[in-house]
Amino acid sequence: MIRFEQVSKRYPGDIAALSDLTLAIESGEMVILSGHSGAGKSTLLKLIPAIERPTQGAVVVNGQNVSALKRAAVPFLRRNLGMIFQDQKLLHDRNVFENVMLPLTIAGVPPRDAGRRVRAALDKVGLLEREKAMPIALSGGEQQRLSIARAVVARPSILIADEPTAHLDDDTARDIVAVFRSFNQVGVTVLVATHHEALFAPCMTRRVTLSHGRLAP
């Protein structure tokens, strides 16, 4: 489902974020990406939706070489991806329901069907009763749940997340892990970069560790 074929990513100043990385993630897996700060975890995740492009090598998602996609094709790629990054990019002038509705509006989903899907996503993450609340009124854990609901409302086949439990207390972090597990149990491929891999240990398929841009033994 996701393949990295001899992928390298360098930034200006000859900074190597990833070096000659080869990795395959199969459909239905829940893979935890671990490693020290600066190991390349965030860069790896951003290559999947073509937020970043590799300097060398190929990134293949569902049989499509996203490294070579034209800019106009990228939105179509992302319709099959749920993305949760550390900068949640919540719209603070729109309520919870409207934040989750946005991806469906962009995709042209009819309003009645979209409304049902939004409420189903909010119910899944335990926010249905807060659908009229503004993001600023939510706790940190609730904001993270909101970002997850927005990521999954379009029913993606792949869910990627960068440090989704950062800055959360232990109980809230475990609740977030349970949400990811529930999506994986219905067939969604999940890839999570985290420093809290022990939280995900009971439900992950396997762990992949990066060290200075390379796969660690």
pLDDT tens column, 97-140? 999 999 999 889 999 999 999 999 999 899 999 999 999 999 98
| Domain total in the chain | 1
Inside any domain, residue 13: no
pLDDT tens column, 61-76? 999 999 999 999 998 8
What secondary structure does DSSP assign to 35-68, as a single string?
A: ESTTSSHHHHHHHTTTSS--SEEEEEETTEEGGG
Under 8 Å CB-to-CB from 8, ≥6 apart: which residues?
A: 16, 18, 19, 20, 21, 54, 55, 56, 57
Quick one: which H or E segment has residue 209? strand 206-211
Inside any domain, residue 160: no
Inside any domain, residue 168: no
Identify the domain containing residue 142 by its residue range: 90-155
Inside any domain, residue 213: no
Mean confidence (pLDDT) of the chain: 94
Inside any domain, residue 137: yes
